[in-house]
Structure 1
Amino acid sequence: MIVALLVPNFLMGVGVSALAIMFLSLASGLYRPLPDLPKFFWRYPMAYISFTSWAAQGQYKNDMLGLEFDPFVQGEPKIQGKQILQKYFGVRVNYSKWWDLAALLFLLLCHKLVFLSILKYKERLVLLLRRFCAKRTLKDLALRPSFRKEKYGSSRRNQPLHPLSAQEGLASPLS
């Protein structure tokens, strides 16, 4: 909904929103474990604002915690779901699935507040932006020699009218 407010038409909204959702899902840990993501951009800012990341972690914890799996080799101890989450998926199990749900609700609230603020102030911002652009355009036009307003215009249309008797020379219609 935020993208729909910011773009001018439907097709651009579809493209930009698909791009935004793709970026958010790349940092969710569905395609690569979170510890394998580069820390600078994908892991820290993107993984924390991605709703898919919090939803996937909560779902993993809901499905895997408390389960035991048979080992790959007979005779070894059973593998705990907690170990699988930490080792293979890179999910932190320090907090419960309810914290993930709370983070999702917080992100939902933040998105709704951003949407409301953009909706409320978009008209004012567009008006201010158009006013700024118009003033800038007028200032640029004032610098051009073709748009300068001179006291006496150089075109023949703006010349003062003279009677035919005042015309002299060979180009006169009286000669």
Structure 2
Amino acid sequence: IPGAITYYIAGLHKGFEHFFYFACVLFACMMLVESLMMIVASIVPNFLMGIIAGAGIQGLMILCGGFFRLPNDIPKPMWKFPLYYIAFHKYAYQGLFKNEFIGTTFPSSDQGGKTSSLSGEHILRDIWQVEMGYSKWVDLAILVGMILLYRVLFLVIIKATEKVKTITTLFAMPLNKRSMQVLVNPSSTPMHGGESVVVV
């Protein structure tokens, strides 16, 4: 609902397909943030430390997502390779830019005062440095694929920590606290005149 209000107030690209894409990207980003925080929560045991770690990861992704610094201006080691390509913000930004600018033209004037038109594709390619080799739907598909990957990663981490906790609690338990069953077998032959005892 807030997305629908702001979309039309801001005067973004009219048409149901453009708004539908906008809503899908917002929903995918919400799911990605939730999935990422689930992974952080499964690794970090402390609630406050989990929030701090999750916010730190989000901050790194936002910084190198291609909005605050254009892709060609991002420092190459670590920031562009691999963080720029790992950050889901890159695909959300570029998908939303393509959704808004492709198929549009804008009036432009050069230094001599001559007016001409500037295409949205030119703005995307030369000003925003958006990768134009694939469509906005591919950006959305990458976001959905990242959601699935994060959820599977969360499941793997949960199952692995479950097994580790079971093993560590078993070994950490003192020997006298472990459950021990003593069974008496009345039908067996007594060895020294008494009943035989089986300890399990």
With structure 1 as the length reference, what TM-score do the two structures score? 0.69
Give the match for residue 93 of structure 2. 56
Q: Would the aligned equivalents of 1:49 and 1:107 in 2 still touch at CA under 8 Å?
A: no
- Distance in 1 (CA, whole Å) between partners of 2:82 and 2:168 is 29
- Distance in 2 (CA, whole Å) between partners of 1:52 and 1:130 is 40
Give the match for residue 132 of structure 2. 93
- How many residues of Structure 1 are paired with residues of Structure 2 in the alignment? 133
- Distance in 2 (CA, whole Å) between partners of 1:82 and 1:130 is 60
- Distance in 2 (CA, whole Å) between partners of 1:17 and 1:5 is 11
Q: Which structure 1 residue ranges, 5 or more long, are not aligned?
A: 135-175
Q: Which amino acid aligns with 2:71?
A: L
- The structure richer in helix per residue is 1
Q: Which amino acid aligns with 2:149?
A: C
Aligned: 1:122 with 2:161: yes
- Distance in 2 (CA, whole Å) between partners of 1:131 and 1:49 is 38
Q: Which amino acid aligns with 1:10?
A: F
Aligned: 1:109 with 2:145: no
Give the match for residue 65 of structure 1. 102
- Distance in 1 (CA, whole Å) between partners of 2:91 and 2:40 is 21
Give the match for residue 14 of structure 1. 51
Q: Would the aligned equivalents of 2:109 and 2:116 in 1 still touch at CA under 8 Å?
A: no
| C-alpha distance 118-81 of structure 1, shift in aligned 2 (>3 A) | same
Aligned-pair Cα RMSD in Å: 2.0
Larger Rg: 1
Query: Identity of paired residues, percent?
Result: 38
Aligned residue for 2:41, secondary structure, equals: helix
Q: Would the aligned equivalents of 1:28 and 1:50 in 2 still touch at CA under 8 Å?
A: yes
Q: Which amino acid aligns with 1:98?
A: W
- The structure richer in strand per residue is 2
With structure 2 as the length reference, what TM-score do the two structures score? 0.61
